Structure 1
């Protein structure tokens, strides 16, 4: 920490808070907090923060009328700039200085750094693979394309599915969001020649950790999701389902690679990024610069969302729709409980 001769920090104090993140999110221990802490003395203020960083799993951010709002999403959602001042997401959006495309996998810096490590896979490595292909998912509400491909590829060879969804294996890869779930998953993927790396939905820009996990576990990715994934990744380093007219054609390509060790090794030894250089938009310094451009301003001067006119009505209506519905549901539950408590119980003989 930078300190003056008196021992007092020279860092500017910033009052911040996080809301509407996933269950188990820790405001004191997360990537954005630690990144900002390098530059500022952070004070967590859940009541009246100057800067509010919020996500997509609730609507509590609407209660913070006077806070500068920064929206972050790890889901396939486009930011609503009527309700936020700045946003960080997946999509290829050009909205002046108010938006940064920084996919969620880019925050897993220890894993991103592995993507540029030298590759030297040998025939021995390939022959030591214990399984043909893996399919590791818990979410059963994804685009049907994911299950469709699982079934079609399964007509060629058996696929190992140790996750909760479409489970056909007794192997334990851990529960999602447990402390070690990601690493037990990667350990199993490393034993597989191919990985079905399908997103839960398809949209330009929406690339999560699934493709990266196949790479760093040294498994050939069969990818579907972001039709423009080659803007970030080397097209020679994975099987891109979006290059084919049907999943049947993809399976033919998988079979061709599966039966040709030289071709499989060529793909495995390709760098994930073009020229083995991390793209600018996936570098930590890019996110850091974006955040500093916000936090270095006085919060009132950094406001960008419109606060008057029709936009003000839009925000009020958003608040009303969400919280009135919540209050209505709570009131109905109270009435039901009161009815149960006050209703005489009929004795049975």
Structure 2
């Protein structure tokens, strides 16, 4: 087993690292740990400086960060790499919903399936222990909870054995609570707060000790526990109706016993939240990421929590795999990609809240019908004047590329690289049709390198930003005298102040840069021009250039009659008619200032 260096930060008073692994023994099934000042993994909680925060904070450790909360705090995955909490609606693969009762059940020695098969246990023995009617043990003051305890106390005896409302003359520790609970029929298990998904150990403790819980808190608690095994305030018209039912059950032993026989979980099957295999799968992802040093990209805010502005770049996945950033989405349940991400990252965002949704490297594994549905959901998040920007592997190009460079082709189409062929490929027409089907009325899809680069919006003027300057004449000649000389001569004859010639350069096609520069100098000497040529060599990888932004700055695009198809693909994607050297002057009419050679 691999040993992971671990550090704990910002936990509650009295916390010891062993407490975490007692709560979650699944971590140690495949991994060992050692505490370290130079950790691979930092596990942190909500108590920086000993004070409880009700919002998640960020930490500065240069390690994989797992945020862990037993409080009603919504995890913010832009501030950590993984998170554990109560949230019922967050389905990001980096988040594990692990209610507090799961960990405490393990910590006090109960097996995960302890509440399965309740109907088969010896109820006579359980009933024989009952001496009191109702128990209440709490250490936190919650006014609405205390008001109910006082109201119920007017109708029946409620023994309060905790610090709050104590009437027993003694207080018990949480560890001793389980033995005391068995002597009572009911336990008041109201949560500290009413919040969706926030279910703590209170109701679970009562069920484990053969007590009927009287519950209030999570309005969706029935998704965790079967409604037949507890009394839920939300199921009654008011508190008086709930108290009336408590009094009835207290007098009717058979009806009370029927509640004790009721399954704790739906269909008497172990709750998925308690399932140790689910926890094991999550912790293996966390520890595996720590072993590889795979940090996750920030999304929506910087590490310090400051917003990134009105442009949301959807870039999820281990940072070491994202060059450029990739967003992998798949409808294949067997798909386990290198780059894991999910469109659910957009779920919490309000409709119309994004001015620009940028997905710079989308490895799209949806079927066409699924893509339309997903892109429609994305469109709802985009503001009326906003747009979607994305890049998808071009099926036509990659299919040809696969004959001689399969790894490069498959890595463009599929996050697994060359390990498995893609299920779907996209052509320009198919992507345009999917965007149209999703409700984007205005679209521009351009083949560019190995990708299809697309922009889509609801308004015609939103596809391209107004250029700050239109100052480029772009060409991509072969770096030999036969193509360089006419290209440079045509620009020299038309050049004017503020206009620049930009030559695309690709070492894979053009050879060493030093040799190309030597040929450029030779060509410039041969045309004997007095024009000052401002030469810009576009040498970045082709997929890192944006044809929309580059095209918006372009005054003209120039190519010779024998320009290779790969070069023409780059030039035509800029959105301008491609002209020959002898047509450049006419194309630049109104901007040229002819010079004598």
Same fold (TM over 0.5): yes
May I ask how many residue pairs the two structures share in their alignment? 295
Q: Aligned residue for 1:199? A: 191
Q: Aligned residue for 1:342? A: none
Matched, 1:288 2:280: yes
1:229 to 221, 228, 232: 221
Matched, 1:211 2:196: no
CA separation of 1:148/1:233 partners in 2, compared to 1, >3 Å: closer, same or farther? same
Residues 44 and 65 in structure 2, CA contact (< 8 A), matched pair in contact too: yes
1:43 to 28, 34, 48: 34
Whole-angstrom CA distance in 2 between matches of 1:288 and 1:195:
32
| Stretches of structure 2 lacking an aligned partner (at least 5 in a row) | 51-56, 308-597
Post-superposition Cα deviations, 1:212-270, rounded to whole Å, max 9, x if no partner, equal: 11112111111111111111111111101111221111101111211222111100111
Matched, 1:148 2:144: no
Whole-angstrom CA distance in 2 between matches of 1:20 and 1:305:
23
1:274 to 259, 266, 280: 266
| Stretches of structure 1 lacking an aligned partner (at least 5 in a row) | 1-10, 175-180, 317-349
Whole-angstrom CA distance in 2 between matches of 1:148 and 1:173:
22
Q: Aligned residue for 1:26? A: 16
SS in 1 for 2:160: coil
Matched, 1:67 2:68: no
**Rg bigger for which structure?**
2
CA separation of 1:63/1:201 partners in 2, compared to 1, >3 Å: closer, same or farther? closer
CA separation of 1:193/1:83 partners in 2, compared to 1, >3 Å: closer, same or farther? same
Residues 26 and 279 in structure 2, CA contact (< 8 A), matched pair in contact too: no
Q: 1:294, CA displacement in angstroms?
A: 2.4
Whole-angstrom CA distance in 2 between matches of 1:115 and 1:311:
43
Q: Aligned residue for 1:244? A: 236
Post-superposition Cα deviations, 1:255-304, rounded to whole Å, max 9, x if no partner, equal: 12112221111001112112221112221111110111222236666322
Matched, 1:263 2:246: no
CA separation of 1:19/1:313 partners in 2, compared to 1, >3 Å: closer, same or farther? closer
Whole-angstrom CA distance in 2 between matches of 1:162 and 1:313:
43
Whole-angstrom CA distance in 2 between matches of 1:265 and 1:310:
53
Residues 84 and 305 in structure 1, CA contact (< 8 A), matched pair in contact too: no
Whole-angstrom CA distance in 1 between matches of 2:211 and 2:68:
30
Q: Aligned residue for 1:90? A: 86
Q: 1:154, CA displacement in angstroms?
A: 1.1
Q: Aligned residue for 1:337? A: none
SS in 1 for 2:114: helix
Whole-angstrom CA distance in 2 between matches of 1:299 and 1:137:
41
Q: Aligned residue for 1:7? A: none
Q: Aligned residue for 1:139? A: 140
SS in 2 for 1:114: coil
> Which has a greater percent of strand?
2
Post-superposition Cα deviations, 1:197-225, rounded to whole Å, max 9, x if no partner, equal: 11111111111111111112111111111
CA separation of 1:101/1:45 partners in 2, compared to 1, >3 Å: closer, same or farther? same
Q: 1:85, CA displacement in angstroms?
A: 1.3
CA separation of 1:45/1:169 partners in 2, compared to 1, >3 Å: closer, same or farther? same
Residues 63 and 293 in structure 2, CA contact (< 8 A), matched pair in contact too: no
The alignment's C-alpha RMSD in Å is: 2.5
SS in 2 for 1:195: strand
Q: 1:20, CA displacement in angstroms?
A: 1.1
Q: Aligned residue for 1:347? A: none
CA separation of 1:30/1:168 partners in 2, compared to 1, >3 Å: closer, same or farther? same
Whole-angstrom CA distance in 2 between matches of 1:281 and 1:123:
30
Matched, 1:15 2:5: yes
Q: 1:126, CA displacement in angstroms?
A: 3.3
Residues 78 and 301 in structure 2, CA contact (< 8 A), matched pair in contact too: no
Post-superposition Cα deviations, 1:178-199, rounded to whole Å, max 9, x if no partner, equal: xxx32x1111111011110111
